[in-house]
Structure 1
């Protein structure tokens, strides 16, 4: 294993370890994505650009669905 590949592998392991310690941050990430996408959809609706509303609304629904079906071990 070359040094660069080894650094990337160790960086990935460290990233995973950090994620395990920050469950509340993940909850806020879901909330942030949902608020951002809902705001984008509402902005497009307010300017009567209804076709531009589809993608942000779909991402908001996906974020909400992902949050709702996550494993019980990852819930707060």
Structure 2
């Protein structure tokens, strides 16, 4: 179930939860339940966004390393 399929109030709840995804101490245990809708699995969304963030970070790191090498820097920063 996508976020766009939810009612406005459900989207607001999910939006607030997703703002604090990185600060949550539990991993894979966060579920939002609404009596009208089935359980919304936040775990899959968290895993998907983590993969996207990792891929973005890795590509930025490669880009910065390439720029540093092109500029002639001997020590390329390891982010």
TM-score after normalising by structure 1: 0.44
Please identify the structure whose Cα radius of gyration is greater.
Answer: 2
Which structure has the highest strand share of the two?
2
TM-score after normalising by structure 2: 0.43
